[in-house]
Structure 1
């Protein structure tokens, strides 16, 4: 199962990487000054969802009989999967930091993150609520860039070598401002381990990522699940 854990960690990292102060604070000095001094006609609107709201979204959304249970992203750092990931060798080496982004996401200074898994363990959900739509849009674009940069990844852990291939695909998610799809093929020891589809959507300043954890979930199932979570975010936000 470790190759699957490593692959899923990288999939999650593709959506969560970018939750750093650098991404949300880019812009001209004029834009920064304007944001620091809002006018009376345009009062600042902070719509970031807190962890309780994210928990409500995950645990109240049901898709085709599947319910979802939250788990602490930060707690993953102490898991067997994260320990394996920490000692694994990546090629290209820079892709390792992307997979480590998921455990570190809750420590990022500008967003609230929470994840969950479906009752049948075939689907995962990652929610990130940022300070504004600009930061969220930047992160979604960044996710696409990372998928392209890590289109072919080899991970060596102990005596096991895992190869992961990633490619983006066009997807439309009802209710989302924009979306991108990533398909992943994972091979370990020369054998196919998992083919996974991921759909990441932006809903205002919130990022919704749905990933299949089993071959039984196809692209359409992932898209349908994404639409249900996008609707839940819209209802809360």
Structure 2
């Protein structure tokens, strides 16, 4: 079962799509980007890794605290040896994990003490960069809406669709609901919630079956902590 959960997190890029990757080519927002309203506002100060770690490990959500650290390198290695259909989704996911789409961001990621939730915090040079990365959630949902993944000898069908989560205090939000099927049956459902606060991002996902509100409430808590730090 651990292999299944790891593969789920990998294919969707869920715990990392909002904290170490990006959501589109950097020049896509140059003309009339989605954050035109934000351009008139002064840029918030970019948070460094130490600040993000302090926020991450001091925030409590759903009765759980969070600890930085994760298996980003292990995930990337597992993905490199995995087979994706369509094949392009492998590159999309690897680019998200390896921070190849939006440059200059700082980030931390980890999991809740009970290993039910995964979360990440990122901060960027500008609101536009943060918004570009957030917009990547839609790209994943659209271009990889139905993916066949084979990893560690396990074959799964992952179906993703965009969602519109409500996160208190966020400037913009995006989300993905991923249904994972093995042997023709739904194994689990993953909720990914991302929220932008000025030039910073919060991303939360479940790696075990929980109610949608559990993921959203955790995002609420992290957004509040980021706003206080800013």
- After TM superposition, the score normalised by the length of structure 2 is 0.84
Q: CA deviation at 1:65?
A: 1.5
1:34 counterpart residue number: none
1:53 counterpart residue number: 51
Indicate the larger mover: 62-71 or 92-101.
Answer: 92-101
| Residues in 2 aligned to 1:107 and 1:11: alpha-carbon distance in whole angstroms | 16
- Bigger-Rg structure (1/2): 1
- Does the CA contact (< 8 Å) of 2:15 and 2:192 recur in 1? no
Q: 1:132 to 1:224 in 2, by over 3 A?
A: same
**Pick aligned residue for 2:216 from 195, 209, 223:** 223
Q: CA deviation at 1:12?
A: 3.3
2:81 counterpart residue number: 87
| Residues in 1 aligned to 2:57 and 2:200: alpha-carbon distance in whole angstroms | 17
| Residues in 2 aligned to 1:167 and 1:25: alpha-carbon distance in whole angstroms | 22
1:68 is the counterpart of 2:60: no
- Does the CA contact (< 8 Å) of 2:60 and 2:66 recur in 1? yes
1:174 counterpart residue number: 168
Specify every segment of 5 or more residues in structure 1 that has no aligned partner in the other structure, as ranges. 29-41
Q: Secondary structure at the match of 2:157?
A: strand
| Residues in 2 aligned to 1:176 and 1:229: alpha-carbon distance in whole angstroms | 10
Question: Residues 19-77 of structure 1, C-alpha deviation per residue, up to 9 Å, x if partnerless?
Answer: 78x5179536xxxxxxxxxxxxx9x85611100111011100011310100015xx621
Indicate the larger mover: 9-18 or 220-229.
Answer: 9-18
2:22 counterpart residue number: 18
- Does the CA contact (< 8 Å) of 1:2 and 1:84 recur in 2? no
Higher relative contact order (CA 8 A, sep 6+): 2
Q: CA deviation at 1:112?
A: 0.5
Specify every segment of 5 or more residues in structure 2 that has no aligned partner in the other structure, as ranges. 32-39
Q: CA deviation at 1:102?
A: 5.0
Q: CA deviation at 1:101?
A: 3.5
2:36 counterpart residue number: none
- Does the CA contact (< 8 Å) of 1:152 and 1:166 recur in 2? yes
| Residues in 2 aligned to 1:13 and 1:122: alpha-carbon distance in whole angstroms | 15
- After TM superposition, the score normalised by the length of structure 1 is 0.82
Question: Residues 141-162 of structure 1, C-alpha deviation per residue, up to 9 Å, x if partnerless?
Answer: 2221221211111112354211
- Does the CA contact (< 8 Å) of 2:22 and 2:96 recur in 1? no
Q: CA deviation at 1:192?
A: 3.1
| Residues in 1 aligned to 2:162 and 2:29: alpha-carbon distance in whole angstroms | 25
Question: Residues 101-144 of structure 1, C-alpha deviation per residue, up to 9 Å, x if partnerless?
Answer: 35423996310011010010000111111111011112212221
